[in-house]
Amino acid sequence: MKSSVIIFPGSNCDRDMDVALKKFGFKNTMVWHNDDKLPKSDLIVLPGGFSYGDYLRCGSIAGKSKIINSVIDFAKTGGLVLGICNGFQILTETGLLPGVLLQNKNIEFICKNVFVKINDKNNKYFNKINKEILELHIAHNEGNYFCTNDELKMLEDNDLVAVSYCDEKGEVNEKSNPNGALQNIAGIFNKEKNILGMMPHPERMIDKYLSGEDGSIFFKNLINNIK
C-alpha cells in the first residue's frame, strides 16, 4: 500500500507520520508543497504542525498551496485523505470538510492524552476496528471545532462525526471536552467518508513506551481496510 505525506513549510509532524505509516506497512513518500503532482497513492496524509506559521488563520495558506489542487482532485475521485491536527485545519480551509477550528476555549495550548469514541465504522478508517474508544494524544491551540447549525445537522444526519471526545468509559460530556469543540467533535468525515480530519494524533501513540498504543490499532486497521 502506498501513502504520501505532504510537507508544508512549518509542518512538524511529517516525520512522525512517516515513521508510523512505515511501521504498519505503508510504502510512504514525502511530497513537497511546491510540487504539482502527487505520486500514485492509496492514502494522502496532511500532517500536523504550523504550516506557513499558521499565519492569517491555521491552515489557510496551506489551503491555497500548489500541491493542494492535486489533493482536492485526488479526494474528489474517492481517494483517501487523512488530515491530522493542522491537516484537519487545512481540510476545513480547502472546503473539503465543513466548519472551522477555533482557538481552544481556555485560550491555552493543550498537550495531553484524551479518549475519543468512534461513532461510525462504516468507512475505510474504522471498519472492523475492535475497539469503541481510543486513547489518543492531542497537542493544539486551535482544536475547538465549530460549524453552522445546518452543517451540524448534515454531519449528524449522515453519521459524519467520526470521533468525539469522551471519558474513559465512553461518556461524551462537557467534562471530557478538552477544547470547547461543538458536541465534543474531535474528527469528521466528508459525505463520501473518504476524507477524515481529526485533531488527535494517532502517530504519537504507536508503541508502549510512548504515551500509549491505541494509534497502532488505528494504523493496523487502516492498512487492512485498504488492502
Partner 1 sequence: MLVNEKIAIEHGLKSDEYKKICQLLKRTPNITELGIFSAMWNEHCSYKSSRRHLKNLHTKGKKVIQGPGENAGVIDIGDDDAIVFKIESHNHPSFIEPYQGAATGVGGIMRDVFTMGARPIANLNSIHFGSPQHKKTKNLLRGVVKGIGGYGNCIGVPTIAGQTSFDESYNGNILVNAMTLGLVNKKKIFYSKAAGINKPVIYVGSKTGRDGIHGASMASAVFDDKIEEKKPTVQVGDPFTEKLLLEACLELMADDSIISIQDMGAAGLTSSSVEMASKGKLGIELNLNKVPCREEKMNPYEIMLSESQERMLIVLENGKEEKAKKIFDKWDLDFAIIGKTTNSKKIELYFDDKKVCDIPVDFLAENAPVYDRKWKKIKLPQSIKFKKQDFKALKIEDCLKKLLSHPNICDKQWIWDQYDHTVMGDTIQKPGGDSGVVRIHGTSKAVAASVDSSALYCFAHPLSGGKQIVCESWRNLISVGSEPIAITNCLNFGNPEKEKNMGEFVECVQGISEASKYLDFPVVSGNVSFYNETKDKGIKPTPSIGGVGIIKDYKNMISMGLKNSGNIVLVIGKTIGHLEQSIFAREILSEKKGPPPEINLFNEKNNGLTVLKMINENLVESCHDISLGGILVAISKMCIKSKKGFKLNQLKGLVNKFEYFFGEDQARYLIEISKENLPKVDKILKQNSVHYDELGSVIDKNIELSDEIKLSIDDLEKNYKNWLRRYMLN
Tell me the three state secondary structure of residue 51.
helix
Q: How far apart are the C-alpha atoms of 94 and 65, rounded to whole Å?
A: 10
Nearer to partner 1, 45 or 195 (CB): 45
- Is residue 22 involved in binding partner 1 (CB under 8 A)? no
Does 56 help bind partner 1 (rule: CB under 8 A)?
Answer: no
Does residue 9 bind partner 1 (CB under 8 A)?
Answer: yes
Residues serving a catalytic function are: 85, 201, 203
Residue 78 sits in the site that holds partner 1 (CB under 8 A):
no
Structural contact between residues 38 and 31, judged by C-beta atoms closer than 8 angstroms: yes
109 binds partner 1 (CB under 8 A): yes
Rg (CA), the chain: 16
CB closer to partner 1, 12 vs 183: 12
Q: Can you say whether the dihedral through the CA atoms of 161, 165, 167, 173 is positive or negative?
A: negative
Binder of partner 1 out of 2, 15, 121, 220 (CB under 8 A): 15
Asked if 134 touches partner 1 (CB under 8 A), the answer is: no
Each residue 152-191 as x (binds partner 1 by CB under 8 A) or -, in order, gives ----------------------------------------
The answer to whether 59 contacts partner 1 (rule: CB under 8 A) is no
Question: Is residue 196 part of the contact set for partner 1 (CB under 8 A)?
Answer: no
Q: What does 122-149 look like in DSSP terms, one character per residue?
A: SSTTTTT-S-SEEEEEEEES--EEE--H
The answer to whether residue 19 forms part of the interface with partner 1 (CB under 8 A) is: yes
Query: From CA 42, how far away is CA 58, in angstroms rounded?
Result: 26
Site for partner 1 contains 29 (CB under 8 A): no
Rounded to the nearest 5°, which phi and psi values hold at 11?
-60, 140
Binding mask 197-216 for partner 1 (x = CB under 8 A): ----x-xx-x--xxx-----
Q: Are 43 and 7 in contact (CB under 8 A)?
A: no
Torsional sign, CA 2, 75, 144, 32: positive
DSSP secondary structure letter of residue 20 = H
Which residue ranges make up the site for partner 1 (CB under 8 A)?
A: 9-10, 12-13, 15-16, 19-20, 34, 48-50, 52-55, 108-112, 137, 139, 141, 201, 203-204, 206, 209-211
